[in-house]
Amino acid sequence: MTDQSVKLPMRRDGLIKENKRQRQQNLVKRLVQGKTDPEAIATLLGGFLDFNQPRKEILDEMVGCFLEIRDGFKQKMFPPHYPHAPFIPAFQKVAQSRDIAVEQFYSKLLEKMMVETEPVDDPKSSAKLATRARVLEAALGVFSEKGFHVATMDEVAERAGVGKGTLYRYFANKETLFNELVRQRLEELERKTKTILDGEDDVLTMITKYVRVYFEFFDRNQQLYRLIVQERLDIGTQVQDLYLKQVMRRIPVLRRKVYEASREGLLKPLDFQTVFYGVMGFIHGIIQKWLAHACSYPLAEELPSVLEVLFYGFVCGSKVNNNSN
């Protein structure tokens, strides 16, 4: 036993009766809801391993747990900002506590990963994706009708036509489920805005296309956006921050085009960040107005007025007195 060993709790009797895969899936669910420091992860991992079996089987089970956690990240079971780094020292602590060399654990893990296969067009994988999509669609309907805080996972499972156990294999809780709903839709928006911002259009055409795509996105996803606003979800703030980070990755291209247009005299030489955030605030104000009118008209109808204000302002005449002093 090394001096870096970690004290691990004895496994509960109920867990002994479960098969290894079930234990590993339950581990992922508990990790999603628990602390993210290495000590806490190591303690939780130790509680899900059967230490009454031979060391070789303990090693195999540890590798299985690691791969199950990896698959949990792939399937978006963990929240978007859940850290990956603490898992490495956590698994090292558990290995050392059972007198398993860290190199032996990594060797076994690499061996297992090398022989893994992911068949293309696997019917089972296709069925899982279809079930997952059905669950997400059902969740949006239930959350919208009942409200996020009132709705239950049982109601989502019933609407999707799946068992509760199946639902929890895909999503550990309501927050994870809702985060995935939002993430998928943001990815769709990011793909479209990336195409625009990476294009060769002049800056005014680029902005016009961008605002149009943005409005069309909210038109298609008004149910989700209304849910975020009406429920005052903290997730909504996280979503906005996540989207802005995604957009900001494309900003250097837009900034360069704005700078070039300023040098040519097409745009005023104003602070880029101030204008960018001001424009985004203006656009979201228009969306709030649309929402206040129960989304009773296509949001794209606002586009001409928005572009008129963005490009030419709303004050008549070519000169405006500066009354800011």
Q: Is the dihedral of CA 146, 151, 156, 158 positive or negative?
A: negative
Q: Which long-range contacts (CB under 8 A, 24 or more apart) does 110-113 make?
A: 112/63, 112/67, 113/67
Q: Which long-range contacts (CB under 8 A, 24 or more apart) does 194-202 make?
A: 194/250, 197/250, 197/253, 197/254, 198/250, 198/253, 202/257, 202/261
> How is domain 175-312 classified at the CATH fold level?
Tetracycline Repressor; domain 2 (1.10.357)
Joined tokens for residue 229: 């606003």
Measured CA to CA in angstroms, residue 157 lies from 47, 131, 132, 182, 183 at distances of 29, 11, 11, 19, 20
DSSP state of 82: -
Q: What is the pTM of this model?
A: 0.57
pLDDT, one tens digit for every residue, the chain (325 residues): 444 444 444 444 444 444 566 666 677 777 877 778 888 888 888 887 777 788 888 888 888 888 888 887 877 777 767 788 888 888 888 888 888 888 888 888 888 887 765 544 455 667 888 888 899 999 989 988 888 888 999 999 999 999 888 888 888 888 888 888 887 887 788 788 878 877 788 888 988 998 999 899 888 888 887 777 666 655 545 555 555 666 666 677 778 888 888 888 888 888 888 888 888 889 889 988 998 888 888 998 999 999 999 888 887 765 545 544 4
* Separation of first and last alpha carbons in the chain: 74
Task: Encode pLDDT of 214-261 as tens digits.
Answer: 899 888 888 887 777 666 655 545 555 555 666 666 677 778 888 888
Enumerate the domain spans of the chain. Answer: 13-115, 123-172, 175-312
Domain 123-172 in CATH: superfamily? Homeodomain-like (1.10.10.60)
pLDDT, residue 12, reads: 42
